[in-house]
Amino acid sequence: MPGNRVPAGHAAGVRRDPRTVRAAYERFLDTGELPGGIDPVVADSWRRSVRSGVDPDTPHPPDPLGDADLAAYRTTHPLASVMPVVRELVVDGAADDGLVVAVSDEVGRLLWVEGDHRLRRTVDRVGFVEGAVWREESVGTNAPGTALATRRAVQVIGAEHFSRPVQGLSCAAAPVRDPATGRVLGVLDITGRRAAATHVVLSLVRATVATVERELATRAAGLPRPGTGPPAGLRVLGRPALRGPDGDRPLSLRHAEILLLLAEHPRGLGADELAVLLHPGALSDVTVRAEVSRLRHVVGPLLAGSRPYRLARPLRSDADEVRAALALGDVRGAVTAYAPLLPRSVAPGVERLRAELSAEVRAAVLASGDPDVLDAWVCGTDGADDHAAWSRLLAVTPAGSPRAVRAQARLTLLDAELG
């Protein structure tokens, strides 16, 4: 379990080391006072748990559905059709990594709980079983329940759980939304011990949910799944282009930005939303409409005719391919395919996506400890001045080898530049 390192997306000053969190938790239960340094998402959840009357020692999830009722309910649930995707991306690897993957519905009922058999026996004992409802109101702070309460991806580490019986576990979860309506269909959760406390697992959850939502959008539109119809895609890791059966068609930077942002928002974007994502200052709706009109002449039926602006069908980018490789645990493949996303773009929405992708790849590289993967990363644009990556490479490389000498030389230079 990480010490007091704060995963990306958390406020500065947040402490997540077990001793600090447990002391704050006990003080909160004893006095109602909450010391600083606790993740605000967790702190708010603790308060909701108290207001809901959750017993920290004996949580009471409602009785689970019986096997027959659960089986009948699962077959009609919208997420049943994408469970093969979930199993391919995360469940198959979870069994080897000591993790459990759970998928709930929109009220927190666990529909599928799969993965490591030993850990499943552990979570069974606290009632984390198929058919049970894991909402904050019943069991307190937990990743799937808190993801439902906040409608965002969350990670709950050890003693951050409100219920003491589950404080030996960590979990990360994110809501799965209907791409057409934005309605939450359920939650994807990964639970485990130390392995589930890493930022890599949170990134894996987010990447898997994004893939699942794209699959739902494809099925809803009645379109062929990627790889089963005419090839089409968007190249954003390098010179932007639209990839098709007749080869690559170059795109202007602005057109690539718009397509990328629409691909990341399958429900669509209004002109005002697109303006905010495209320009760090003021950009008028008229300018956005003119850009989209010009884009229609380039991509034709790929853009839907109605507003908000949206794609008529899912468009897979090479950034998606990097995320898919990470989701499958193929860090080497992800690093090989990776390059900075639209590096010349200053569009705020693109800069955020660029930073997220870089952070996800970097976290996986550092966690891998693979010398070849680390070497590939530090040889790239993002890794050239990455002190932590060079240090990790030096640590896992035989002393005196050419790679170790190069790493030591680079660290010496970086130390000098940093003063």
Task: Please choose, from the candidates 97, 100, 107, the residue with its C-alpha nearest in 3D space to the C-alpha of residue 126.
Answer: 100
C-alpha 262/C-alpha 303 separation (Å) is 9
Residue 67 has pLDDT above 60, yes or no: yes
Provide mean pLDDT across the span 314-327.
91
Residue 27 has pLDDT above 50, yes or no: yes
pLDDT band per the 50, 70, 90 thresholds, residue 306: low
Q: Cβ(189)–Cβ(91) under 8 Å?
A: no
Residues 95 and 173 in one domain: yes
Number of domains composing the chain: 3
State which amino acid sits at residue 251: L
Is there a single domain that holds both residue 200 and residue 245?
no
CATH number at 279 reads: 1.10.10.10
Does 39 map to a domain? no
Mean pLDDT to the nearest integer, 37-47: 93
Do residues 139 and 165 lie in contact, with contact meaning Cβ atoms separated by under 8 Å?
no
Q: Which of 342, 367, 392 is the last residue of a domain?
A: 367
Rounded to an integer, the average pLDDT of 279-289 is: 76
Looking at the fold, whether 208 and 322 belong to one and the same domain comes out as no
Query: Looking at the structure, do residues 89 and 198 belong to the same domain, yes or no?
Result: yes
Same domain, yes or no: 388 and 417? yes
More confident residue, 228 or 166: 166
Specify if 92 maps to a domain.
yes
The pLDDT of residue 7: 44
The pTM (predicted TM-score) of the whole model is: 0.54
202, 10 Cβ separation under 8 angstroms: no
Whole-angstrom distance, CA of residue 392 vs CA of residue 192: 25
Out of 165, 192, 221, pick the residue that ends a domain. 221
Q: Which residues of 37-57 are buried (b: 16+ CB within 10 A; e: fewer)?
A: bbbebbbbbbebbeeeebebe
| CATH code (residue 203) | 3.30.450.40
Q: Report residue 326 as tokens.
A: 């990470």
Q: Please state, in angstroms and rounded to a whole number, the distance separating the CA atoms of residues 344 and 367.
A: 29
Q: How far apart are CA 62 and CA 52, in angstroms?
A: 14
Q: Tell me the pLDDT band of 8, cut-offs 50, 70 and 90.
A: very low
> What are φ and ψ of residue 303, in 5° steps?
-95, 130
Do 374 and 414 belong together in one domain? yes
What residues form DSSP beta bridges with 187?
104, 175
Return the minimum-mean-pLDDT range out of 82-91, 95-104, 221-230, 359-368. Answer: 221-230
Looking at the structure, do residues 342 and 390 belong to the same domain, yes or no? no
pLDDT of residue 224: 44
Residues 276 and 401 placed together within one structural domain of the fold: no
pLDDT greater than 80 at residue 1: no
Chain-centre distance of CA 252, in angstroms? 29
Identify whether residues 168 and 292 lie together within a single domain: no
- Measured distance CA(257)–CA(162) in Å, rounded: 42
Kindly report which listed range (86-100, 227-241, 252-266, 299-313) carries the lowest average pLDDT score.
227-241
Of 34, 32, 30, 3, nearest to 16 (Cα)?
A: 3
The yes-or-no verdict on residue 88 having pLDDT over 80 is no
Residue 153 pLDDT: 95
Same domain, 231 and 212: no
Q: What is the mean pLDDT of residues 55-64?
A: 83
Q: pLDDT tens digits for 181-233?
A: 889 999 999 999 988 998 889 988 998 898 888 888 877 765 444 434 343 68
What are the backbone angles phi and psi of residue 309, rounded to the nearest 5°?
-65, 130
* Amino acid identity, position 414: L
What letter does residue 269 receive in the DSSP assignment?
B
For residue 17, being part of any structural domain is answered with no
Which of 221, 239, 255 terminates a domain? The answer is 221
Q: Is the pLDDT of residue 103 over 70?
A: yes
Using DSSP bridges, classify how beta strands 154-157 and 241-244 pair: parallel, antiparallel or unpaired.
unpaired
Taking all residues of the chain, what is their mean pLDDT, rounded to a whole number? 87
Which residue range is the domain that position 261 belongs to? 226-367
326-378, pLDDT tens digit by residue? 998 899 999 999 999 999 999 999 999 999 999 999 999 999 999 999 999 99
d(CA 82, CA 79): 5
377, 362 contact by CB (below 8 A): yes
196 in the same domain as 64: yes
Q: Are 142 and 190 in contact (CB under 8 A)?
A: no
